[in-house]
Structures are given as structure tokens and as C-alpha cells.
Structure 1
């Protein structure tokens, strides 16, 4: 049986704003949420937040490790865990899940063996910006028994709030994406808030 993934509005909007801020760079981040009860037959992974990581040093695992330690320290006390990974490719016309994304996805998989990997779908994002689509602008990948990342029809991604794209468009129209801070920005200037505490207020 495939897992179901339910994505909250906050996690989703931060992911897309991160990609819009760095349109000509590959970007990535961590998905945070609550792990399902192993005894629960309705296995739903709740994705409640996302932490933007990088827009320049994506292949560097040491940077990823530093970020993961800080993320775990901050969110662990709240009962929130690392549950997945998101990625957007550098080129707008690149719709493939590349080796770097897969490698980092494998790393996150060690934290949670049902971790989803979300790849930003630029075609869907373009359709959303034109007002032609209301579907999530990400593709869901999960790792199968052969350790390959695939789009599996038995695994579903749904939005917790059906109006998430409408709210997202409001943030885009006010250019809120300019305010998002990723971990790269924080390492350059530690006064910048990688938690983006006030971003969506």
C-alpha cells in the first residue's frame, strides 16, 4: 500500500516562494512534518512546514548536515521531524529528477524510510501564474524497493487547504518571495532568519 502525503499551506507556499526568488538557480529544502503511527493502516504523512536550504551550494553535504542538525534541534522539541525533501531545477525547461536531488533524497531517506521527494513542476507553476490551474505545482517521487525514485500512482499528494494556490497567488502578487530567507542566506549573514518566522504573517 502506498503512503499518502498531506501538505499544509505553509510548507507549500514557502517552497514555491523559494523557487520564485531564485528562478535561475537550482534550489532545495527540507520538508517537516509528523510521522504516521506504524499501527495506523491509513498511513498519512503530514507535511506541516518547509525549511529553504540552498540556492548556490546544493551538492555540498557538509552544509546539508549543519542545516539538518539545527533543524532537528529547533523542531524536535515541537514533535516535528524531517519527513522529506524538495528540489527545483536550475533550468525552467528541465523536468527531470537529477542525480543531485536523488542523492540528497537518499540522505533524507535515512531519517524517514517513506520520505517523499517533491520536484517543482515549472509547467504547472507557469499555468498557475496564468490562472489556468489550481493543482499543486510539484511532482511527488517516492523511493521503491530497488532504491530508485519514481512517481508511484499508489502514493498520493493532497493539499490540506484546497485554497492554498489562491493564497499563494496573493503572496506572489505582493512579491512576498523577495523576503524569503534560505540557509545559504543565513550562513552569509546570521542575522537573517532561516526559520522565516514572520514571512507569512
Structure 2
């Protein structure tokens, strides 16, 4: 802790989380970031996010922390054989211009941080583009 840390988001992971949010534009969506610490003695430390696991897209499912804890364990077991771990959490609010991280997202992030001290919480904010 205390050292600088950088995060690399693989293209496939980015596309998966973007499609999850775009598929449900009127709902808050969330999921897990899966990856690993990259080897090397270089500073800053690099966390490579290689995949994401979409969790839910319904606002009433967000506060179910026991469900998230169960999913965290299942995802850790599944990806652990590949040398990967849950390295963070992503969340997109239902409103495009809402840049506030909900309390439940903070709690899930804190839970992940207990197991992976370099965990990240990624808040996805969408811009509205208009073409003339």
C-alpha cells in the first residue's frame, strides 16, 4: 500500500463492460473486474484487468451484498485456476450524468479491497453525443 499503481484494461474486458451498460441504458449495472498483478520490479505496480464478469442490471439487486459475496467466491474459484483474481468492481448508474458512486458500490469495493489491496472501483460515466 502507498505505492503508485496503474491499471490496464484489456480491450475485451472494456467491450464486455461497455456492452453490459449499453444493453441496459435505463438501469444501473455492475460487475467484477478480473485480472492479475503484472510481474516486475518496476514502479508503479501494474494491475492488468483481462476480463469482467457482469453481475446485475436491476437497481433493486444492487444492495444484496450476501449475493455479491457468494458471486465473489464463485468467480475466484473459477478464475483462480487460470492465475486470475477479482481485482475490482465496476458500476454504471442508471442516469448518464450521475457521477456519484452509490454506497453499495463502495461497500463491495471495500470487501474486494480486503482480499486484494490494490483493488479498483471503476465508475462508468456515459456522455451523450448528438450528431448534427
Normalized against structure 2, the TM-score is what? 0.87
Other-structure match for 2:52: 50
After TM superposition, give the deviation of residue 40 of structure 1 in Å. 4.3
1:1-201 alignment, distance < 5 Å: 1-37=3-39, 39-56=41-58, 57-123=61-127, 126-127=128-129
CA distance in 2: counterparts of 1:99 and 1:72, whole angstroms: 23
Higher strand share: 2
CA distance in 2: counterparts of 1:20 and 1:92, whole angstroms: 11
**Count of matched residue positions in the alignment of Structure 1 and Structure 2:** 127
**RMSD (CA atoms):** 1.8
Q: In the alignment, is the contact (CA less than 8 A) between 2:93 and 2:125 conserved in 1?
A: no
Normalized against structure 1, the TM-score is what? 0.59
Q: Secondary structure at the match of 2:115?
A: coil
Unaligned runs of 5+ residues in structure 2 are none
Q: Secondary structure at the match of 2:74?
A: helix
Residue deviations 1:76-101, cap 9 Å, x none? 00001110110001222211122121
Which structure has the larger Rg over C-alpha atoms?
Answer: 1
Q: Secondary structure at the match of 1:109?
A: helix
